Amino acid sequence: MFFEDLSAQGIQDDLLARLTSFPNVIVTIHQSFFTREAMPNIAQITLSNISQFELDGGVPNAVT
């Protein structure tokens, strides 16, 4: 259900259809960053940013 493009078929899963009918539920898009290669890089950059912030308050990869 979550690894194929089934958008043309609509929601076939009754539970998911019910869940998405609630106004306080959002179903997010596919997260393409979640790969074996990306996750260690994300972790390393995050830890590096934390270390840099502890050193001098700087955040080298800040999103503004």
Task: In whole angstroms, give the CA distance from residue 43 to residue 13.
Answer: 34
Successive 10-residue mean pLDDT values, the chain, 64 residues: 72 88 83 82 91 91 78
Task: In whole angstroms, give the CA distance from residue 17 to residue 25.
Answer: 11
Q: How far is CA 4 from the centre of its chain?
A: 17
Neighbour tally for 45: CB within 10 Å: 12
For the chain, give every domain's residue range: 7-56
Q: What was the pLDDT predicted at 3?
A: 67
Q: What was the pLDDT predicted at 53?
A: 92
- Collapsing DSSP states into helix, strand and coil, what is residue 21? coil
Q: What was the pLDDT predicted at 56?
A: 94
Task: In whole angstroms, give the CA distance from residue 53 to residue 59.
Answer: 6
